[in-house]
Structure 1
Amino acid sequence: MLFTHEMIASFNELELAVYNYISHNREKVAYMRIRELADATHVSTATILRFCRKIDCEGFSEFKVKLKMSLDKPTKTIIKSPQHSITEFFERTLTGDLEERMNEAADLISEAENVLFAGMGSSGILAEYGARYFSSIGKFSMYVKDPHYPIHAKFRNNSVAIILSVSGETPFTITQVHQLKQDGSYIISITNNKLSTIAKLSDVNLAYYVTEEWFQFANITTQVPVVYILEAVARKISI
């Protein structure tokens, strides 16, 4: 991804004008000279160079190379069949130590007074589903969408946070994990691999290992394994 959320948030008014122009004229900008882009956006070349440094490019030439590379990425995606994704999950994950780790997670949750769920995007939808499912099975749980949402001290006491993230690198979710750990919560994460930042920050990580799939700019990686893990852990608690 050429522009991250953090990069865009750091832009001043002039740099934001450059960003907006590039967003609407990517193919054209890839072949512009720095002076041409400066004239088109009504800023100085110094502003363009400062903009390039903020997006981790040493200069305008490196920026154009990265821009051209992003344009060269294929737009058509071959989407795997649901059967392929599920088979991949069973072959890669259920033959490992997932069952043992789910037992560890279930033990932590059983002992906790409070259970909090967190996630963004499709992971957020499943986090909300998880909170409802756990509550239905007898373990009252809450879904926390806002990473800055104030959580009362009585809910932080002896609590477990169940964090959902496909990549394990979602900035807002990482912020939530740091905050919850500082408040004393145990962290159980469900991610697509065990080497991500969120997985490493967790007390227990439940990784499901399926190939990530993208359609244009949307992550469409199957979430069926996540539903399986959530329901399996909840049922272990109810036994």
Structure 2
Amino acid sequence: MKPAALTWAISSSLPSLRKSERKVAEFILANLTDVIRMRIVDLAEKAEVSEPTVVRFCRAVGCDGFQDFKLALAQQLASSPSYGQIAVTDQDSVAEYTFKVFDSTVDTLLKVRDSLDLNMLDQAVQALCVANRVEFYGFGASAAVATDAQHKFFRLQVSAAAYADPHLQNMSAASMAPGDVVIAISQSGRTTTLINAMERVKSRGAIVIAIAPSDSPVANAANIPLTIDVKEDFQIYTPLSSRIAHLVLIDVLAIGVAQHKGGRLQEHLLEMQLGLEVLREPLENH
């Protein structure tokens, strides 16, 4: 198991664990930095379970045993020093949970930035710069990202639309042509309806750019995959850092297109800004 996947494996396995094993998981998620200094007997006592239960839990999340589990956890905390400070609890003050949410998001953005495939990113920008039309597909939280993306590209004088309805996505896909681009956005990377629409877009000769986890069905179905791997903490308090990362990647693509358009776009954006002033209260002179 990759160290970065350990806490995700613990969180995602909670529903399938036995009651006693779940007690171990919940204690660990709330005390990540303390656990790496514990003996198995200490963890068993703190979680109020037996030592064999701790071993079974470790194996349930993909580790060979308790020592292997502690090593993987220590590696994750070393690669992400802020992680152990992020899990929100019922006892957190306003200041504590505020800092945890911000720290989690910043940590995620830095990791995504450093892992981006810049060659794929350049291919995506080049495809968008020559596209006749650009459309964004997304469901759920990804629908909000698609709508934001449509707004950004509309301002860049790009014919853009966003669809969160499967019927509209399929109608859009059926009308695509060579030279058109669809950006498919997915946090899970496994949405079957989205994959079907992507295949239809490709069958029409258009290009599909995916923003999705690596090695996911959505990423694999794209002509140009832009992969973002964010392991969310699937507890009751869940800041969706992946959604923020997707929004920032859309900003990167928009900047790339704006840079390509150059001076022509600046005049258009200035005119648009002036046109919006009539909708705003005038600034007071101080």
Same fold (TM over 0.5): yes
Structure with higher RCO (Cα < 8 A, 6+ apart): 1
Shift of 1:98: 3.2
Pairing 1:231–2:178 present: no
SS state at 2:166 partner: coil
Over 3 Å counting, the alpha-carbon distance change for 1:145 and 1:84 in structure 2 is closer
Deviation string for 1:136-187 (max 9, x for gaps)?
1221211122223223866534210001101110122122212222222211
Q: Which residue of 2 is the match for residue 84 of structure 1?
A: 104
Query: 1:148–1:176: 8 Å Cα contact kept in structure 2?
Result: no
Pairing 1:119–2:138 present: yes
- Matched AA of 1:168: G
Shift of 1:194: 1.4
Question: Any stretches of 5+ residues in structure 1 without a counterpart?
Answer: 1-67
Over 3 Å counting, the alpha-carbon distance change for 1:97 and 1:223 in structure 2 is closer
Select 2:186's aligned residue among 145, 152, 165: 165
CA–CA distance in structure 2, aligned partners of residues 165 and 152 of structure 1 = 17
| Bigger Cα Rg | 2
Q: Which residue of 2 is the match for residue 6 of structure 1?
A: none
Higher helix share: 2
Q: Which residue of 1 is the match for residue 16 of structure 2?
A: 69
Query: What is the TM-score when the length of structure 1 is the normalising length?
Result: 0.62
Pairing 1:214–2:234 present: yes
Deviation string for 1:94-113 (max 9, x for gaps)?
22443332221010111110
Equivalenced residue count is 172
Q: Which residue of 1 is the match for residue 214 of structure 2?
A: 194
Query: 1:89–1:210: 8 Å Cα contact kept in structure 2?
Result: no
Sequence identity percentage:
18
SS state at 2:215 partner: coil
Query: 2:173–2:197: 8 Å Cα contact kept in structure 1?
Result: no
Select 1:105's aligned residue among 124, 141, 150: 124
Pairing 1:94–2:97 present: no
CA–CA distance in structure 2, aligned partners of residues 71 and 147 of structure 1 = 37
CA–CA distance in structure 1, aligned partners of residues 140 and 18 of structure 2 = 25
Query: What is the TM-score when the length of structure 2 is the normalising length?
Result: 0.52
RMSD of aligned C-alpha atoms?
A: 3.0
Over 3 Å counting, the alpha-carbon distance change for 1:205 and 1:138 in structure 2 is same
Query: 2:195–2:218: 8 Å Cα contact kept in structure 1?
Result: yes
Over 3 Å counting, the alpha-carbon distance change for 1:122 and 1:218 in structure 2 is same
Answer with 100-109 or 79-88: which moved more: 79-88
Shift of 1:219: 8.4
Over 3 Å counting, the alpha-carbon distance change for 1:178 and 1:164 in structure 2 is same
Query: 1:114–1:157: 8 Å Cα contact kept in structure 2?
Result: no
Select 2:166's aligned residue among 147, 163, 175: 147
